[in-house]
Structure 1
Amino acid sequence: MTMPAPTVTVRMYDVGFGDAFLITVKQDDRAWRMLVDCGVHNQGKARPLLDVVGAIITDLTVAAGPDTRPTLDVVVATHHHADHIAGFSYADWEKVHVGEVWVSFVEDDYDDDARMLKNGLVRAARSLITLTGPARKVALRLAHELALNSLGNEDAMDRLLGRHGKQFLNVPKVRYLPDKFALLNDIRTSIPGVTVHVLGPSRDPDQLKRMNPPKSARWLAIQQAADAESSGETPGGQPPAEPLFDEMYSVTPDEVNDYISEPAKTLKPLKLPTLLDDASEILAAASILERSVNNTSIFFVLDVDGTRLVFVGDSQQGAWDHILQNPVARALVSDPAFYKIGHHGSHNATPREYVTNAIGKQGTYAMLPYGKVWKWGDIPNRTLLDAFTATNTHIVRADAPVADARVQVGPDNLWSEITFTAP
């Protein structure tokens, strides 16, 4: 007897500037469900995040049927930015049974490389928060917000990892991905022919170094100088600050100006020495930190009997290079049926090469999780969206979804969803 073709539905919830995707694969009376992220940036909420959490749990409860607990086979937290995980802080999740939780390997406290990288990111974020806390300047306030987002949400991570008394209905198995053993990164689901290929983030030591803010990072050096000044000590001669990252991670003055509405001038409120006295450089540091955390995103392809769906978290250029330079990984992300537009459509997330040379012209559906943040007027990037349109890609925006033969839209635009039938 021939089995019917499986279907896969992607439901994008409109949280605002954040991600929440519920994926359902069905075949006959069997179903497999994955939730990818649940969070929102505090400057870009479309509605209360708890309302979205409630809607997701209600949808799972209805799908489970009477007298059956709501269940997710997998929860993926692509990376620890608050706009991707903050929703998991709510106790409502204690009603939901979860089979497995997948997090980036940088969250594994027993992995030496991961611990070094994460500690560097956290230390940098906390230093930036200290520097910018009382700031009035637009650039510094934005730097403070970026740093807070980069620090993540400990309550959410506690639930995801089953720590400190926080959990789902159960304490699920946790996978730190990608696994060091390559074969374990092709993960079969409970439905035949349905596999998840975890492609990133990279575990390459050289790429890890490029993502880890060095100790001589300028915002750390200035914090040390400020501490010395407040204690009456002389900071002494500081060696020239080395570049924070490879050139691909550099932030130009023009990029900084995209984020602020007034020129950044001398950093007078902090009364710091001339080691670093430009607010734009503090903002640039925060932007680089944000990119570093983005590049720890879990990057995966869901393959449903040949129908491929690409989820990239907030992966940016460095992480994409790791994918596109690998022939096997590049083939998996090429000509997809579905693409989750990375980092809310920012100019530095989806590479031009991917749009023009890999995504194909087969009528890919791309979902854009987005809510307006006035400070970031260039997100989503119009040139990027136009490039998608030129490749015959159908863009579904969370903030303004349009129903068609394949796309359905929920009440009050709470969600929009696409269903594919595997060939």
Structure 2
Amino acid sequence: MKKEEEVVKEIPSAGRSPRSIAMGAAFLMAMAAVGPGFLTQTATFTGQMGANFGFAILLCIIVDFVVQMNVWRIIVVSGKRAQVIANEILPGLGYVLSFLVAAGGLLFNIGNIGGAGLGLNVLFGISPENGAIIAACFAIAVFVAKNAMTVMDRTVQVLAVVKIAILIYIMCVMAVPYKAAVTHTFMPTNIDFYSIVTIVGGTVGGYISFSGGHRLIEGGLTGKKELKYVNEGAITGIGVASLIRILLFLAGLAVVTVGYKLDPANPAASIFKYAAGNFGYKFFGILLFAAGMTSTLGSTFTSISFLNYTHTAKSEMKLARYNRAIVVAFIVISAAIFYFIGNPAKVLVVVGAINGFILPISLSILLIAGYKKKIIGDYHHPLFLAITGWIVVAFMLFASIETLIKLF
């Protein structure tokens, strides 16, 4: 048994340093948070609300910090995945959480793979459906690689650099109305709760809240001794995601301020095409493909991790035998649904709203766990994080209710 336990422990970390694993988790979370859904949602709502959408971006960044710091710390200190924690709070609750997160992740993955397919369509002119199949094959290749976790981390980090570089270039060739952006971000003249629930849900809700924490667990980082790396990873991930959020919002605002109407079928593409013509449009194709791939990897990894309820090294090894088959099935199903349904722009906005409803439920579970000694031992969760966490829960419940009233 001891030999089995050692094997299981060595597999995830593969000899990597705690900081390297934390950075892998940081970029996995950040890039999952700013995938095709975020590109589409930001472009759509910036076109509708102009500078006032900056308020939703600001709230998104604040909520991101509160959620990620709470979730990462509690998961790592407990050394348990979120669904196992939920079951310890209330038997059966973990299965409900797994269903909500995995189902939301599957729906989001349809849009993620579709987004990557659209990126290939922009770059090479192939159909989005065939592009989605190519993207799915690329994602599967990453997960079936010998050191899958390391390959996933490196792939996400490289694509993150590509995304940031492209956005910085677009910012350099546009006249951005910074004054209006800052003014309306902090003093909005119009607040739309549907846009808030959607953008927060699409960038913090559902599986995204747990991608970083579960990656740390997978890498073997558990217990209070790892909090230093938890903080470094979470803050890095939040910083990278926030930078991309701000850059894309400002780029979109620069376009809509001059009166340009975004194409509802592909609103984000309109921003880049207006900014830099066909050259910018091709850049958008690279950005969209990168965003689709990083989010597909994050969604697949995290959603599948919610199916893991193992408690022993032996059961962990047994599940590992089937893990690749489950991952492949998850990606294939997502690609197949997109292939026959299509319309990723609409899917990405709607699913973001759905994940916004999941957030207060999942965050509440982790906050309750933060005060259960049988789960976290003698760890004392910071009062500031607990208070702000419950404020986020209350706000998202209120915003979700307001959205339901508006929709129906």
- Richer in helix (by share): 2
Q: Which has the higher strand share?
A: 1
Relative to the length of structure 2, the TM-score reads 0.27
Question: Which of 1 and 2 has higher RCO (CA within 8 Å, sep 6+)?
Answer: 2
TM-score, normalised with respect to structure 1: 0.26
